[in-house]
Structure 1
Amino acid sequence: MKCPAIALVSAPGPSQHTSHDLTHEQWHRIRPLFTLFDAMPTLGHRHASTREAVNGVLWKIVNACAWLNVPRSYPAGPYCQDICMEWDQKGLLAAILHELHGDAAPRMLEEARRAGEMP
């Protein structure tokens, strides 16, 4: 899958959402997983909410782009990458993908790993 150039050029502002962002219903479904996996973001980016970090990680996985191409409407790509790796090591990333995408989750995770920039 090719990285969408439009997202890099005309990314929405911080208060705007893209079609890849979690709906309120999706967020309420996955939010308890963070407590279950003891995985609230603890890395430096103080202005990023957990939901924003999830949106940035999901954007990267869905678009199969480099972390540096994560649009500015999300937390910085390197921050999202660090969080993604932490969540992947804890099993949280697989749980999030399973909750949101069901049986497609293992394939999505494998494709993301195969694309690189993930453990």
Structure 2
Amino acid sequence: MGVAGDLSDAEWARLESLLPSMAPQRGGRWRDHRQVIDGILWRVENGAKWHQIPDRYGPWKTCYYRFSRWDADGTWARVEKQLRADAEARGDLDWRAQVDSTVARAHQHAAGARKGG
């Protein structure tokens, strides 16, 4: 069992098959995917910088490079797509939600303030 906030065994079981193989490749073995994902999630949950990831998740550069690599090769998109499909099949998603993020920016002088004074 890991630290509070790390992936549970059930969550890991859902993710593991969606990730690239851990089979040794050119350049050696990869650090454990679960440990690295826990480090990435820690960073996201805490709003921290990459170099602030605790040592228990391995080198911060490993977390950063794995995150970047999986973003570039579409791994994160595939994981999100599958997890969304699973949640929708269970009826866990509510598509009726709405978000309005309208922003109207105006120049500082647009409000009619006098210049120079």
Q: For the superposition of Structure 1 and Structure 2, which TM-score range results when normalised by the shorter chain?
A: 0.5 to 0.7
Q: Which of the numbers 74, 85, 89 marks the counterpart of 1:91?
A: 74
Q: Which has the larger radius of gyration?
A: 2
Corresponding letter in the other structure for 1:62 = E
Query: How many residues end up aligned between the 2 structures?
Result: 84
Pairs within 5 Å for 1:38-117: 38=20, 40=22, 48-96=31-79, 99=83
Is 2:2 the counterpart of 1:17? yes
Q: Give the share of equivalent positions with the same residue, in percent.
A: 25
What is the DSSP-based 3-state SS (H/G/I as helix, E as strand, rest coil) of the residue aligned with 1:33?
coil
Distance in 1 between the 2:71 and 2:30 partners? Answer: 22
User: In angstroms, what is the RMSD of aligned CA positions?
Assistant: 3.0
Q: Structure 2: 5+ residue runs without aligned partners?
A: 88-92, 94-117
Distance in 2 between the 1:64 and 1:27 partners? Answer: 22
CA 1:23–1:71: 2 relative to 1, 3 Å: same
Q: Name 1:29's counterpart in structure 2.
A: 14
Q: Structure 1: 5+ residue runs without aligned partners?
A: 1-15, 104-119
8 A contact 1:67–1:78 mirrored in 2: yes
Distance in 2 between the 1:45 and 1:94 partners? Answer: 26
**Larger proportion of helix:** 1
CA 1:61–1:43: 2 relative to 1, 3 Å: farther
Corresponding letter in the other structure for 1:77 = W
Distance in 2 between the 1:32 and 1:44 partners? Answer: 23
User: What's the TM-score once normalised by structure 1's chain length?
Assistant: 0.56
Distance in 2 between the 1:27 and 1:93 partners? Answer: 15
